[in-house]
A and B are shown apart, each in its own frame.
Chain A
Amino acid sequence: MTGYRIAGFLRLEDVLREITQTSVRTVFISGGTDFINNGIGDKAELVIDLAQVADLKYIKDLGSEIRIGGGTTFAAIAASPIIKARASALAQAASRVGSVQIRNRATIGGNIASASPAGDSLPVLAAFTAGVHTAGSQGTRSLTLTEALNGLQAKEIITEVVIPTPGESRSGFVKIGSRSQVTIAKVSLAANIMYDRSKKMIIVGKAAMGALGKVPVCPLTVQQFFSQRVVDEHFADDLSQLLVETVDEMIAGRASRPYKRAAVKGLVYDLAGLLFDACENN
């Protein structure tokens, strides 16, 4: 049996005071949907429960950015009018995390902290070039998603996720698993674009693929491709080609490569459906 103690607080400042004062090995639990089975608690002397820290749960629209508290659940994100309107890809990803029961507990901060390659929110955050704010015994830090995924410091909490929303963008998230719902992504794709509807042209955009490695992959080739690109009948096939190249590069030699590269086309067509057809019909 592991022997950790557990403590919980209602305010972030109390959490921060505790981690500054304690000298024991400390880890955090939030929703608990990863924590309970991933063995993180085995090495800890103290577990701090963040699930009831009220000031980690919020979604704020500041105009040029959206700020999401690290303790916000995926159920809350999926249901948020702000997220649906301004970062719909994140709402889509949030609504496809696990089951209802999981979404009611799992948090966006936890998704980043657990850093599962298949984490559904991660490619969306990458496509939005989201930032991650943390707080810990060493003070606060402002990290890129990649930095956050590559490892937090000891006793460091994800307090906030910042999604830049400089202008009106369109975004979408799609994934492929072995079931239509409650399934771990075999491969996922998110994109965020500025789109000129009258010209049917992407002005600028970024895409990210999930489940190819520890960190979502944002191919530079796709960003170049998105720049001033008219959405014509070749769009999806051209984008697929670029993403296939990405898959080949990222997971060369892996047993999962043939399927993932073959399925990319489906992802791209689904994504294009979300980004364009659906919007055009509105």
Chain B
Amino acid sequence: MDAKPAHNFKYVGRSIPIEDGAAKASGSIKYTGDMVVDGILYAQLVFSQVPHARIKNIDISEAMAVPGVVKIYQRDNSTQIKFNSQMWFAGQNAVEDQELFPEVVRYIGDTVAAVVAETKEAALAAADLIKAEYDTLPVVIDPEEALSGQVALHDSGNPFFTMEANCGDVEAVLKTNAGVVVEDRVETPKIHHAAMENHVCIAVPDHRGRMTVYSPCQIVYSVRLIVAKVLGVPYHKVRVIKTPIGGSFGGKQEVTLETYCAYFAKDLNRPVKIEFDRWASIVATRTRTKTIGYVKTMVSPEGKIWARDMKYIVDTGAYTSNGRAICYAMAKKLFRLYRIPNQHYQALAVHTNTTIAGAARGYGSPQVQTIAEINLDNAARHLNMDPVEFRLKNLVHPYDADPSGGPDLGNARIIDCVRKGAETFGWNAKWSQPKRAGRWQTGVGMACATHGNGYYGAYQEFGTMTIRMLEDGSIMLNAGLHDLGNGTVTAMKQIVAEVLDISLDMIEAPEADTDVSPYDIGCQASRVIHVCGANAMQAAEELRSLFIIEAAKILTCNEAEIALEDGRIWRNGNSGNTMSYGQMAAMIQQKNQVELIRTVTYQAPANPGSYAANFVEVAVDTYTGFVKVVDVVAVHDIGQAINTGFVEGQIHGGIQMGLGMAIAEDIDYDEKSGIARGSRFSKYHLVNAPDMPPVRVILIEKGEEYGPYGAKSIGEIATIPITAATVNAINHALNANLTILPVTPDKIMAMLTEQQNK
């Protein structure tokens, strides 16, 4: 724990260790896979081995003979209700094209059948014996090939969705033929979230006909919605409990195993568990969208961006999932980082016979901003201008408006980020360093990014929390919290502790349980600190007011005379006679007959931008194509850190993830067979400890009006700028324009070989 109290805060800003750290470090915390439930059954899904086919026949005879098999599910004996696994609120307009057991399998990993058995081993053995016969259908893997519509996976056709967003008049500006036009095609890969915990779920039916779902999820109310739909029961018959989660990064945001688990548990009236292995987590849950961007940027000779025309092909895989929502989310970011008077954005969403894409840390934002930032570096290069200088001419300023009509940007401090980062990194010297011949070529790159703070401006953005002071003075914050391992619960406690001036160990803030947590739309959209944190702050403030009102009655004084500090309360001027909060709370109960409780629904009034700039130095081995990332400086405008250590932790982890997208990670589907090449960790390499660069984090903390204590989001933006910054550094090192990500050694060597042959 560091000793830095930011500003005059007592709890906010401090690097207090995560509250369940000891339970995690001792191995005593129980994740869903560690939970024991009496009489539980195990379900094993049977995955399609072909990328696109109509199922002709499924032979389960051998599988049924395996001792311990309870039931085998397939289309004929199961519900055929359709749903969309990313719906998170009732009445959401989303294409419902998923079923538990589709008639047509659309990717390798689609669900053909499922075995439920007394043991995991029996379920697995029986699943291996199920034989499906297929009538194969034409396959499309390449998203650009999918655009032709020759292979349609659903009635919605291919592309199944297109949208546009605009400001100014791009066409008119382009027609002037003034300035410099820089065009790029950039491709980002399908990425696996790679939470260390695989997907897992337990569903337990009870005597009242209710279903309790234990899920390491991000949105309990989304799980409830979709499970209730698949079970065909009212919402109050489903209880969803968010369990300790071994990482998510969006991978556990959508409802995947919960539907199967609950459906089997209801049908058999016994608890059921499903636990995926790594192959299934990679191939049969969700991925980041593969995204291909065509960007055309028109700049003035002085380096002002006049216009930008962008077309993004968004590959959402075999089902629609969030394929429409993500196109909107992508669009928003592109109007909120630079002052570009004329912009046109077009997204074309396609289905391919690959794993379903879905939420993934940044929700499309890393893809589109990576593409745009690579193009901007090329624009700077065409102008023969330092990319830092070029960006500084064009970046947004605090309190700019969003030209596409979104919420105002708030205290947008990206210029501070770039200035501070360039200075700390030593950009000027490194950028202008002359190239030397030799095997290792060094280069530097940078990139900027923005991300949101909740759904305000797009969807309803509110939540409810109940806070109580118990009669011993301890605090319960009851809310739909989902800690993904990033420290949400601890951060909420810090906010409450700051308001009530009480130590953290006197506060409990349990995670989401639909039976007891008020409604909240969960951990998504970088909303938790900015929206839930403000909710917690307001709830705590109202509790504090109530406490003061009631205490004033006890102490027979004015409310203004009441003093609170460090869990003790007294009447001003009478500090020799203090009481603990508990003593006072008990007296308030006895004498005033009042419970110290407040329930607060908070509606977010704003959605400012979080901002970041990353600076990267790489050394590229021109003999092998190996990229060594030597140095990273990450500067983030986060308003105010609630827990500085957690913020740094998010940035470190985000950089590990974004580096993977830049240079290593790609699920990579074979164009003919549809088989994922990167379907295991031995074939899908995450950056490990030896290859992780040192990271210097700098926080710009200049506050944000509506954030709790001025705080803005960090979790998603942390992974955005590093990818383009790294690719830009590689291209700087090699004087190249590598734009197909990840930039792996084989792509680098192919480019160098081509350069040599010229």
A1 touching B125, Cβ below 8 Å: yes
Does residue B171 face the partner (Cβ distance < 8 Å to A)?
A: no
B439 touching A269, Cβ below 8 Å: yes
Indicate the member of B623, B626, B753 with the most A CB atoms within 10 Å: B623
Which of A19-27, A124-132, A179-187 contacts its partner?
A179-187
* Contact-size category for B: 20 to 34
Does residue A203 face the partner (Cβ distance < 8 Å to B)?
A: no
Contacts of A263 in B (CB 8 A): 623-625, 745, 749
A259 touching B688, Cβ below 8 Å: no
Nearest residue (CB) in A for B125 is: A1
- Proximity bits, A245-282, B CB within 8 Å = 1, else 0: 00000000000001100110111010000000000000
Does residue A176 face the partner (Cβ distance < 8 Å to B)?
A: yes
Contacts of B746 in A (CB 8 A): 258-259
A178 touching B745, Cβ below 8 Å: yes
B688 touching A265, Cβ below 8 Å: no
Contacts of A265 in B (CB 8 A): 623
Contacts of A267 in B (CB 8 A): 624
B624 touching A176, Cβ below 8 Å: yes
Contact partner of B685 among A176, A179, A258, A262, CB < 8 A?
A: A179
CA distance A181 to B753 in the complex (A): 26
Query: Contacts A258-B746, A258-B749, A263-B745 hold; do A180 and B691 have CB atoms under 8 A apart?
Result: yes
Does residue B39 face the partner (Cβ distance < 8 Å to A)?
A: no
B691 touching A258, Cβ below 8 Å: no
Query: Using a Cβ–Cβ cut-off of 8 Å, how many residues does chain A contribute to the interface with B?
Result: 17
Least distance between A214 CB and chain B CB atoms (Å) = 19
Nearest residue (CB) in A for B746 is: A259
Contacts of B623 in A (CB 8 A): 263, 265-266, 269
Contact partner of A178 among B125, B685, B690, B749, CB < 8 A?
A: B685
Contacts of B745 in A (CB 8 A): 176, 178, 259, 263
B593-646 contacts to A, CB under 8 A, are 621, 623-626, 628
A181 touching B752, Cβ below 8 Å: no
A179 touching B749, Cβ below 8 Å: no
Does residue B682 face the partner (Cβ distance < 8 Å to A)?
A: yes
Indicate the member of B121, B628, B746 with the most A CB atoms within 10 Å: B746
Contacts of B685 in A (CB 8 A): 178-179, 183
CA distance A265 to B621 in the complex (A): 11
CA distance A81 to B685 in the complex (A): 33
Does residue B664 face the partner (Cβ distance < 8 Å to A)?
A: yes
B723-755 contacts to A, CB under 8 A, are 744-746, 749-750, 752-753
CA distance A267 to B621 in the complex (A): 11
A258 touching B753, Cβ below 8 Å: yes
Least distance between A257 CB and chain B CB atoms (Å) = 11
Contact partner of A1 among B121, B624, B752, CB < 8 A?
A: B121
- Proximity bits, A165-192, B CB within 8 Å = 1, else 0: 0000000000010111111100000000
CA distance A128 to B105 in the complex (A): 53
CA distance A50 to B682 in the complex (A): 26
Least distance between B460 CB and chain A CB atoms (Å) = 44
CA distance A163 to B706 in the complex (A): 72
- Proximity bits, B666-695, A CB within 8 Å = 1, else 0: 000000000000000010010110110000
Contact partner of B690 among A179, A184, A258, A269, CB < 8 A?
A: A179
- Proximity bits, B441-468, A CB within 8 Å = 1, else 0: 0000000000000000000000000000
CA distance A11 to B86 in the complex (A): 59
B389-416 contacts to A, CB under 8 A, are none
CA distance A1 to B125 in the complex (A): 6
Nearest residue (CB) in B for A256 is: B746
CA distance A19 to B90 in the complex (A): 66
Query: Contacts A176-B626, A269-B439 hold; do A262 and B744 have CB atoms under 8 A apart?
Result: no
Indicate the member of A176, A178, A263, A265 with the most B CB atoms within 10 Å: A178
CA distance A263 to B625 in the complex (A): 8
Least distance between A1 CB and chain B CB atoms (Å) = 5
Query: Contacts A1-B125, A263-B624 hold; do A178 and B744 have CB atoms under 8 A apart?
Result: yes
CA distance A260 to B682 in the complex (A): 19
CA distance A1 to B624 in the complex (A): 44
A180 touching B690, Cβ below 8 Å: yes
A262 touching B121, Cβ below 8 Å: no
Contacts of A181 in B (CB 8 A): 688, 690-691
CA distance A225 to B20 in the complex (A): 63
Contacts of A179 in B (CB 8 A): 664, 685, 687-688, 690-691
A259 touching B749, Cβ below 8 Å: yes
CA distance A227 to B682 in the complex (A): 39
Contacts of B691 in A (CB 8 A): 179-181
Least distance between A186 CB and chain B CB atoms (Å) = 8
Contacts of B628 in A (CB 8 A): 180
B690 touching A259, Cβ below 8 Å: no
Least distance between B494 CB and chain A CB atoms (Å) = 37
Least distance between B693 CB and chain A CB atoms (Å) = 12
A179-214 contacts to B, CB under 8 A, are 179-184
Contacts of B753 in A (CB 8 A): 258, 262
CA distance A156 to B439 in the complex (A): 47
Contacts of A180 in B (CB 8 A): 626, 628, 690-691
Least distance between A264 CB and chain B CB atoms (Å) = 9
CA distance A3 to B244 in the complex (A): 36
Least distance between B112 CB and chain A CB atoms (Å) = 21
B749 touching A262, Cβ below 8 Å: yes
Indicate the member of B625, B687, B744 with the most A CB atoms within 10 Å: B625
CA distance A184 to B685 in the complex (A): 10
A1-51 contacts to B, CB under 8 A, are 1
A266 touching B624, Cβ below 8 Å: yes
7 closest residue pairs by CB, A with B: A266-B623, A266-B624, A259-B746, A262-B749, A181-B690, A263-B624, A265-B623
Residues of A within 8 A of B (CB): 1, 176, 178-184, 258-259, 262-263, 265-267, 269
Would you mind naming 10 contact pairs between A and B with Cβ atoms under 8 Å apart?
A1-B121, A176-B624, A180-B626, A180-B628, A183-B685, A258-B746, A258-B749, A262-B625, A262-B750, A265-B623
Residues of B within 8 A of A (CB): 121, 125, 439, 621, 623-626, 628, 664, 682, 685, 687-688, 690-691, 744-746, 749-750, 752-753
